[in-house]
Amino acid sequence: MSAKHIALIYTGGTIGMARTDKGYAPMKDFAAVLSKLLHPVSGAMPRYTLHEYATPIDSTNAVPEDWQRIARDIAARYHEHDGFVVLHGTDTMAYTASALSFMLQGLRKPVIVTGSQIPLGEVRSDAAQNLITAMQLAASDQISEVAIYFNQRLLRGNRATKTSASRMQAFDSPNYPWLAEAGIDLRLNASVLLPRAAGEKFETPAYAHGRVLPVRFVPGMPVRLVQAMLDLDPQALILQGYGAGNVPDRDSALFDVLRRAHESGVVLVACSQSLHGEVALGTYATGSMLESAGAIGAMDMTFEAIFAKLHHLFALGMSAQEIRMAFLQDISGELAA
Ligand code: ASN
């Protein structure tokens, strides 16, 4: 029997849902279903304490304040437990995992986020396997970071993205190697894990929402759409361009709008619609235009990490100028330094 004691934080998601007339919705007796599932294997598992949210949510409904709540709940229990499993919906799991990695810096214990594609009680559910392995990983002495465990893969949380709505293999980390593979053995890829920090540095400032807005470019998109976004008074725009981060430069209207936004203090971040690779704004004239407008390239960060990192830096009260500098510094392994 493992002497480890982990905390299971149940926030919602398909893993804890059951069928209703309107489709899957959070089930009522999650704790009982969980203990029935785990009882037969308890000898091989760490001890756990369940912390069940009173109103579990479909993660589609999550807002940045929910990320902050989870981080604060982990921080409050940090010294009582050897590791943490966060049960969460898959839809926005990568956003939450990214945000947790920025709030819970310098972790010296594992925080494993998991969920499932099919609810716990359904036939062919992936919930039990994901949960059981996540719990074992949460008892590991070698992991000191926020990671997503899903269908035999352990991925860095702030490098992961949901790549499939229907496959059991719902997540990947296109710009970073998997941290572990769970086949017959649990094989950790030690060389790519975050080294254990000298000490924790938790920052859980009050997160706001609605001020970091995405603009996804499509061929022929009117510049007025970008202006309409700016009229919503954002603190930052994430410009999802093509390939290396390119956006159209055929006429100067887009440049003028972006330059004005930059001068008025909006943080402009350029990223790519491509899942793999990194932003290089100097490669094409269409990318250089963004640089001259004042945008910064998001290097090889995922969209989810960019979004969460901007929320984090704004919540810390930084100015636009400070954020432009801090954004390109690595916090928790989210970018290639
Ligand atoms: N809509 C669900 C959620 O994100 C999807 C899932 O968990 N598989 O909560």
CA of 140 to the centre of ligand 1 (A): 26
Q: Is 90 a catalytic residue?
A: yes
Pocket test for ligand 1, best of 55, 59, 86, 162 (most atoms within 8 A of CB): 59
Please give the pLDDT value at position 303.
98
Is residue 300 in contact with ligand 1, taking CB distance under 6 Å? no
Catalytic residue among 14, 133, 161, 302: 14
Please give the pLDDT value at position 144.
97
Please give the pLDDT value at position 2.
62
CA of 255 to the centre of ligand 1 (A): 38
- Over residues 221-235, the pLDDT tens digits come to 999 999 999 999 999
Q: Is 286 a catalytic residue?
A: no
Give first-to-last CA distance, the chain, whole Å. 40
Please give the pLDDT value at position 287.
82
Is residue 332 in contact with ligand 1, taking CB distance under 6 Å? no
- Over residues 121-142, the pLDDT tens digits come to 899 999 999 999 999 999 999 9
212-326: what CATH class?
alpha beta
- Ligand 1 atom nearest residue 14's Cα: 7
Please give the pLDDT value at position 97.
99
- Ligand 1 atom nearest residue 92's Cα: 4
- Ligand 1 atom nearest residue 170's Cα: 8
Is residue 64 in contact with ligand 1, taking CB distance under 6 Å? no
Please give the pLDDT value at position 248.
94
Which amino acids are annotated as binding site, given as ranges? 59, 90-91
Please give the pLDDT value at position 200.
96
3-state secondary structure the chain: CCCCEEEEEEEECHHHEEEECCEEEECCCHHHHHHHHHHHHHHHCCEEEEEEEEEEECHHHCCHHHHHHHHHHHHHHHHHCCEEEEECCCCCHHHHHHHHHHHEECCCCCEEEECCCCCCCCCCCCHHHHHHHHHHHHCCCCCCCEEEEECCEEEEHHHCEECCCCCCCCEECCCCCCCEEECCCEEECHHHCCCCCCCCEECCCCCCCCCEEEEECCCCCCHHHHHHHHCCCCCEEEEEEECCCECCCCCCHHHHHHHHHHHCCCEEEEEECCCCCCCCCCCCHHHHHHHHHCCEECCCCCHHHHHHHHHHHHHCCCCHHHHHHHCCCCCCCCCCC
Is the fold of 5-202 the same as that of 212-326? yes
Please give the pLDDT value at position 283.
87
For the chain, the domains span 5-202, 212-326
Is residue 58 in contact with ligand 1, taking CB distance under 6 Å? yes
Q: Whose CA is nearest to atom 3 of ligand 1?
A: 89
Is residue 61 in contact with ligand 1, taking CB distance under 6 Å? no
* Closest CA relative to residue 8, chosen from 104, 79, 74: 74
Is residue 119 in contact with ligand 1, taking CB distance under 6 Å? no
Is residue 157 in contact with ligand 1, taking CB distance under 6 Å? no
**pLDDT in single tens digits along all 337 residues of the chain:** 568 999 999 999 999 999 999 999 888 789 998 988 888 888 889 999 999 999 999 999 999 999 999 999 999 999 999 999 999 999 999 999 999 999 999 999 999 999 999 999 899 999 999 999 999 999 999 999 999 999 999 999 999 999 999 999 999 999 999 999 999 999 999 999 999 999 999 999 999 999 999 999 999 999 999 999 999 999 999 999 999 999 999 989 999 999 999 999 999 999 999 999 999 898 888 889 999 999 999 999 999 999 999 999 999 999 999 999 999 999 999 999 7
Q: Which fold has domain 5-202?
A: Rossmann fold (3.40.50)
Catalytic residue among 20, 49, 55, 90: 90
- Ligand 1 atom nearest residue 117's Cα: 8
Q: In the structure encoding, which two tokens stand for residue 131, read together? A: 């949960």
CA of 70 to the centre of ligand 1 (A): 17
Q: In the structure encoding, which two tokens stand for residue 148, read together? A: 């997503």
